[in-house]
Structure 1
Amino acid sequence: MSPPQDQDYFALRSPLHTPGLRVQQAGPDAWQIVEKWAAQAGHNPGTGDFHHVWNLDSDGCFIGMLGDQPVSAISVINYNNGYTHLGSHLTAIKDPGAGIRLDTMRVAIQHAGDHTIGVDATTQDFNFYQLAGFIPAWRTIRFTGPVPAEPPMHDHSCTNITIPDMREMAILDAECVLDTMAGRYQFALAIATAPDRHTLVATDRTARLRGYGVLRPAHHGYRIGPLYAQDPRAATALFDALCERAGRLGAKTITIDIPETNHDARDLAEHRGLSHLGEATRMYWSGRVEPRPADTRIYGLTSFETG
């Protein structure tokens, strides 16, 4: 029988409703299970993404247990500027009324303290988070499709990253996501430099950095993200160069998550033959950091788990 769909039931500070549920911090080995759940749920995460999530805040990854069986998970990633991002909010068993997921979040969300909390809620989960008190801010559109066969030529140079590029890349990531370097520097570089990642920087004719993008393997095809650029021309050059790299790697499909408010990014994806696959809504809950709109330099989100 489903529980009542009202604000009192979904209140995050109310008692647990699932008998026997034990929510505990998860180590990296246990967290590999969550990546399998995400793939089975059709989220198509980047291969190895959850390792980087765990490294970002190792105290913020939780698994729910019923007896010896893992049944649920959530990541509650704290940044140093008073912001927390929820992700990997999954269950491995049928969960009528979302009671297990809700109780898992009730326990784990204590890790956020008094931070503002953000989440990228899928269409199916929108009402769940809204009833829990989250307020919608903006949408992200997921585009996917065949890798473009012959990317055009551009007047921006796209090259592999070098050590001097790395600080500027990390600063750009922080500016687009948090307005501060707090908690993102090592994560941004890890996402860009892991062995299975392909990262390119765009420069103009004076060798100034205009953006960068990361191509990474996913459970289905390849993903582009993050993709940050100071202008549409740099973004287009990066996107096409990354697609060309994906084609050389044998990829058949490419996926990218684009803030709805970035019309240039949406036009680029559509002009390159990608289709609207799904969407998520960025939502925020209380705290002391004001929610902010998507930065116009975001042409591709890093992940729904980290913002």
Structure 2
Amino acid sequence: MTASRTPPVVPGLRVEQADAEIWRTVETWAAAAGHNPGVGDFQHAWELDPAGCLIGLLHDQPATAVSIINYDDGYAHLGSYFTAHPDPDPGLRTATMNAALAHAQDRTIGADAAPDDVEYYWQAGFITTWRTLHFTGPVPGRIPNPHIACTPPTNADRAQMAALDAECFQADRHPFALAFTSGPERYTRVASDRSGRVRGYGLLRPARHGYRIGPLYADASDIAATLFDALCEIARGLDADSVTIDVPDTNRSARDLAESRGLSHLAETIRMYRPGRLPVRPTADKLIYGLTSLNAG
């Protein structure tokens, strides 16, 4: 299937901005398709860039959805494409995706493509870079390292957390990074040194099945492991039966951590970029032990 810049004619289809209520419904489509998004993740995307949360209405009924978040003048991130029903007309996808690409204008666009979709993205001008490995399994029973303190973030920590996220992402997204780690049922832990410098932080949040960990950033593998174990300790206290984390294959230490905690590599996606007016900003891959969200990057 070829993704053209000219949307195909699909009788009865119009693609428009989704309102908040219908966008919450899209999260149920994701679950039905076998995804396991964090509860509330889709709402964070909508609040950040509602004009990029698009719904395809076929004869006035919701049929397709895709999100694309314009983070700044140079970078946008394309979220997953979902449908109300399995195996829709391929033209629906192309029309919906082209509306998303138009929203990004001349920005560089990042996306996490399922292996079966890579050719589709190639034809839309994307290039492959690295893999994201999806690990899941029973909540590990390890106790956090007592020599590394993991605490809820203070107001003084938050600016450093946002700066750390900016090192690990293709755009500076301070408001989103802080909002994503706040709110009900979102458990954030920070590891700092004696001078108050944040060396890493991680988030635990409920998902459709079990709990998700991510983001997880750290400047050393022992810091990452202690944060991971601290978040798992919280998950056990919440009677969680499983945890999931998305790990970039560019950081071997991140993969080692997931495997050492007994998690299984069950699936993967491919990080792809469509070049825009500005080049993709390099990220500090060695700091990334868990991605924030496949829908938001």
TM-score of the superposed pair, with normalisation by structure 2: 0.95
Quick check: 1:235 aligned with 2:224? yes
Q: How many residues align?
A: 296
**Structure 2 residue identity aligned to 1:24:** E
Q: Show CA shifts across 1:61-108 (max 9, x none).
A: 100011121000010110114101100311122435632111101122
- 1:216–1:223 Cα contact (<8 Å) kept: yes
The match for 2:14 is 22
- Between the aligned partners of 2:145 and 2:203, the Cα distance in structure 1 is 19
The match for 2:242 is 253
- Between the aligned partners of 1:275 and 1:76, the Cα distance in structure 2 is 30
Quick check: 1:158 aligned with 2:147? no
- Between the aligned partners of 1:71 and 1:294, the Cα distance in structure 2 is 38
* Pairwise CA RMSD: 1.5
Distance 1:152 1:167, change over 3 A: closer
The match for 1:36 is 28
Q: CA deviation at 1:268?
A: 0.5
The match for 1:215 is 204
Give the secondary structure class of the aligned counterpart of 2:68. Answer: strand
Q: CA deviation at 1:251?
A: 0.4
- 1:25–1:63 Cα contact (<8 Å) kept: yes
Q: CA deviation at 1:145?
A: 0.4
**Structure 2 residue identity aligned to 1:272:** R
**Correspondence 1:3-18 to 2 at 5 A:** 5=1, 9-11=2-4, 13-18=5-10
- 1:177–1:295 Cα contact (<8 Å) kept: no
The match for 1:199 is 188
Give the secondary structure class of the aligned counterpart of 2:229. Answer: helix
- Between the aligned partners of 1:293 and 1:199, the Cα distance in structure 2 is 22
Distance 1:293 1:19, change over 3 A: farther
Of stretches 36-45 and 196-205 in structure 1, the one that deviates more from structure 2 is 196-205
- 1:116–1:290 Cα contact (<8 Å) kept: yes
Quick check: 1:63 aligned with 2:52? no
Quick check: 1:295 aligned with 2:285? yes
The match for 2:141 is 149
Quick check: 1:105 aligned with 2:97? yes
- Between the aligned partners of 1:152 and 1:174, the Cα distance in structure 2 is 27
Give the secondary structure class of the aligned counterpart of 2:255. Answer: helix
- 2:69–2:296 Cα contact (<8 Å) kept: yes
- Between the aligned partners of 2:258 and 2:51, the Cα distance in structure 1 is 36
- Between the aligned partners of 1:41 and 1:196, the Cα distance in structure 2 is 24
Q: Show CA shifts across 1:160-196 (max 9, x none).
A: 1111111100111112102x53xx1111111111111
- 2:203–2:215 Cα contact (<8 Å) kept: yes
- Between the aligned partners of 1:96 and 1:46, the Cα distance in structure 2 is 25
- 1:197–1:216 Cα contact (<8 Å) kept: yes
The match for 2:176 is 187
Q: Show CA shifts across 1:249-294 (max 9, x none).
A: 1101000000001100100100100000110111111212323467
Quick check: 1:304 aligned with 2:294? yes
- Between the aligned partners of 1:254 and 1:194, the Cα distance in structure 2 is 19
- Between the aligned partners of 2:54 and 2:84, the Cα distance in structure 1 is 14
**Structure 2 residue identity aligned to 1:85:** H
**Structure 1 residue identity aligned to 2:69:** I
Give the secondary structure class of the aligned counterpart of 1:18. Answer: coil
Q: CA deviation at 1:43?
A: 1.0
The match for 2:258 is 269
Q: CA deviation at 1:19?
A: 2.0
**Structure 1 residue identity aligned to 2:291:** L
The match for 2:67 is 75
Gaps of 5+ in 1: none
* Fraction of identical pairs, as percent: 56
- Between the aligned partners of 1:228 and 1:269, the Cα distance in structure 2 is 14
**Structure 2 residue identity aligned to 1:300:** G
Gaps of 5+ in 2: none
